């Protein structure tokens, strides 16, 4: 690449490339985290009317503790690997908030919990308790992640995540873009150009930063001009908030246990993702120890829960891309320090308050597309129907979220609906509750069936039947809580469990027929 260029000039070009690569990588990682926090806050505040104070002063600083600890440890891993290799061409693993699970917790855990209790403090503690359970699951799974990856089809593991990518990270942010179309389209053009087509702006100015600055500027210009109906002038105040260690959330564990069905799949999925990302880094030339990477993401998530955090951390997809940029370990160090210090002095909360959702929306759409692409790419081509099937429970969740906003605004309850709509609402509720675990089991069942492994498919159906009886999936309760089957007045859970058992029996009969045919 540098042949024919004088040595001093080559060194200057290399350093310039590394400097801009470090800055670009830092901005991408930093704004990924800030963007997730912006959407998380917006979901709770605008969708569920949750008071913003606890989000800005407790949840964000507590979550930042996990990001800071994880990125600093990954920075140390990179420096250690650099010393081992004896050269500077080592790129740290990027770590940040896991976007799908953070959005999922907002929609499926904290939002419904606040609607049910109208207690902001209790809802926050439920979020902390759920993150604690995720951390425990991750620590346990980090020792068995490879085994889980072998027994559960990729379509089952990644399908529900791809459904979240398409609907919660793709469709819902698109609504925010259309709410502020001028800002959203400009930001989408710049961000898609930078992240998808790798086009360069004049002066090598980072496209993501340009989108944030330009979009935010236009947002305030239109807002103060009276062209944005939802615009509110920000306070632009920075307050000192030091995350405090607390174990008070343990009192809410009995109320939070119903969200274990969300904690388990999210914990497993990030560990599997961590295994894949570590392998990706190894192929790019940085051979990190998988166990180190997994335990760091697990403990940083667990630590965040004790300081008020509600969102788990995970190694991000794209280590080779960061390496191609020329990034080393400085970008993770800067991200960890800025997120940590910025949350304490109120800078992170200020960013969350100031940057409009329409500007960040395209980043989430891009992330969603990447998750979908990975699900179909990593699954065998024959399993693509299984990936698609696992989307459907997520569709039910999204419909119920949007429907809930309209019904809440009209002060309507399901019992006031016509009978046909009451039945449809009950079906949506059951299909939505436990949607991640449902998608995992449905995707796995169909993948096994496609591979003529009818016994394994029958087992998946039988597991669905047992989980349905206790509300672990398909809970008949609007809040999604668990129960003993004989204490519920409706027979809907019995009927669905019988349906799953009948399907399991049919699949076992197919197994016998297949065995005779093969003989």
For tokens 């960013």, name the residue.
351
Q: What is the structure's pLDDT at 195? A: 79
Instruction: Answer yes or no: is pLDDT of 519 > 60.
Output: no
3-class DSSP state of 155 = helix
Instruction: Answer yes or no: is pLDDT of 220 > 50.
Output: yes
Nearest alpha-carbon partner for 367 in 11, 131, 98, 112: 98
Q: Which residue has the higher pLDDT, 497 or 275?
A: 497
Q: What is the structure's pLDDT at 354? A: 87
Q: What is the structure's pLDDT at 38? A: 86
In the structure encoding, which two tokens stand for residue 361, read together? 């929306």
Instruction: Answer yes or no: is pLDDT of 130 > 90.
Output: yes
Instruction: Answer yes or no: is pLDDT of 449 > 90.
Output: yes
CA dist 361 → 159, 214, 280, 397 (Å):
22, 14, 27, 20
3-class DSSP state of 286 = coil
Q: What is the structure's pLDDT at 202? A: 83
- The residues near 52 (Cβ < 8 Å, ≥ 6 apart) are 41, 45
- The sign one gets for the Cα dihedral 263, 40, 316, 75 is negative
Q: What is the structure's pLDDT at 410? A: 80
Q: What is the structure's pLDDT at 9? A: 44
Dihedrals phi, psi of 3, to nearest 5 degrees = -65, 135
Instruction: Answer yes or no: is pLDDT of 98 > 70.
Output: yes
Q: How confident is the model at residue 269 (pLDDT cuts 50, 70, 90)?
A: confident
Instruction: Answer yes or no: is pLDDT of 4 > 80.
Output: no
Q: How confident is the model at residue 11 (pLDDT cuts 50, 70, 90)?
A: very low
Q: Compute the distance between CA of residue 76 and CA of residue 92 in angstroms, rounded to an integer.
A: 8
Q: What is the structure's pLDDT at 129? A: 94
Q: Which residue has the higher pLDDT, 75 or 208?
A: 75
CA dist 81 → 26, 241, 326, 328, 371 (Å):
20, 35, 16, 11, 29
Its pTM stands at: 0.81
Q: How confident is the model at residue 250 (pLDDT cuts 50, 70, 90)?
A: very high
Q: How confident is the model at residue 6 (pLDDT cuts 50, 70, 90)?
A: very low
> Which neighbouring-strand residues pair with 314?
96
Contact status, residue 339 vs residue 72, Cβ threshold 8 Å: no
Q: What does the buried/exposed string (b/e) look like for 308-320 if buried means 16 or more CB atoms within 10 Å of the residue's CB? A: bbbbbbbbbbbbb
- The residues near 189 (Cβ < 8 Å, ≥ 6 apart) are none
Q: What is the structure's pLDDT at 28? A: 80
């Amino acid at each position: 690449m540098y042949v024919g260029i004088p040595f001093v000039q080559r060194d200057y070009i290399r350093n310039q490339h590394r400097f801009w690569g470090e800055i670009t990588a830092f901005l991408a990682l930093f704004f990924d985290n800030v963007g997730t926090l912006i959407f998380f806050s917006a979901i709770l505040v605008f969708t569920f009317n949750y008071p913003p104070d606890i989000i800005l002063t407790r949840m964000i600083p507590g979550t930042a503790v996990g990001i800071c600890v994880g990125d600093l440890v990954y920075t140390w891993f990179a420096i250690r690997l650099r010393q081992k290799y004896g050269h500077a061409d080592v790129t740290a693993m990027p770590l940040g908030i896991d976007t799908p699970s953070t959005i999922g917790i907002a929609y499926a855990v904290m939002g419904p919990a606040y609607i049910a209790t109208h207690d902001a403090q209790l809802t926050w503690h439920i979020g902390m308790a759920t993150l604690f359970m995720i951390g425990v699951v991750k620590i346990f799974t980090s020792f068995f992640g490879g085994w889980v990856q072998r027994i559960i089809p990729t379509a089952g593991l990644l399908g529900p995540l791809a459904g979240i990518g398409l609907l919660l990270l793709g469709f819902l942010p698109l609504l925010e873009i259309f709410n502020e179309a001028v800002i959203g389209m400009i930001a989408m053009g710049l961000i898609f150009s930078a992240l998808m087509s790798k086009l360069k702006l004049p002066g090598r100015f980072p496209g993501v930063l340009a989108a944030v600055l330009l979009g935010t500027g236009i947002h305030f210009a239109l807002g103060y001009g009276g062209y944005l109906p939802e615009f509110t002038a920000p306070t632009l105040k920075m307050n000192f908030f030091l995350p405090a260690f607390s174990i008070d959330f343990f009192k809410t564990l009995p109320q939070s246990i119903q969200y274990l069905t969300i904690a388990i799949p999210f914990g497993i999925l990030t560990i599997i993702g961590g295994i894949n990302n570590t392998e990706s880094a190894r192929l790019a030339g940085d051979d990190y120890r998988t166990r180190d990477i997994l335990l760091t993401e697990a403990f940083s998530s667990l630590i965040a829960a004790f300081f008020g955090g509600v969102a788990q951390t995970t190694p991000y997809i794209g280590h080779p891309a960061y390496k191609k940029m020329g990034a080393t370990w400085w970008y993770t160090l800067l991200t960890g320090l800025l997120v940590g210090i910025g949350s304490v002095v109120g800078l992170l909360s200020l960013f969350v308050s100031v940057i409009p959702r329409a500007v960040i929306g395209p980043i989430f759409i891009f992330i969603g597309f990447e998750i979908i692409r990975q699900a179909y790419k990593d699954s065998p081509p024959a399993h693509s129907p299984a990936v698609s099937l696992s989307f459907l429970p997520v569709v039910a969740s999204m419909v119920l979220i949007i429907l809930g906003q309209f019904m809440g605004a009209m002060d309507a309850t399901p019992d006031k609906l016509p009978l046909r709509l009451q039945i449809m609402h009950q079906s949506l509720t059951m299909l939505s509750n436990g949607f991640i675990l449902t998608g995992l089991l449905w995707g796995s069942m169909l993948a096994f069936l496609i591979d003529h492994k009818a016994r394994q498919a029958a087992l998946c159906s039988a597991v669905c039947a047992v989980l349905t009886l206790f509300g672990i999936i398909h809970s008949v309760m609007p809040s999604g809580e668990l129960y003993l089957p004989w204490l519920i007045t409706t027979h809907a859970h019995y009927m669905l469990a019988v349906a799953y058992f009948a399907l399991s029996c049919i699949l076992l009969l197919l197994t016998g027929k297949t065995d005779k045919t093969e003989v």
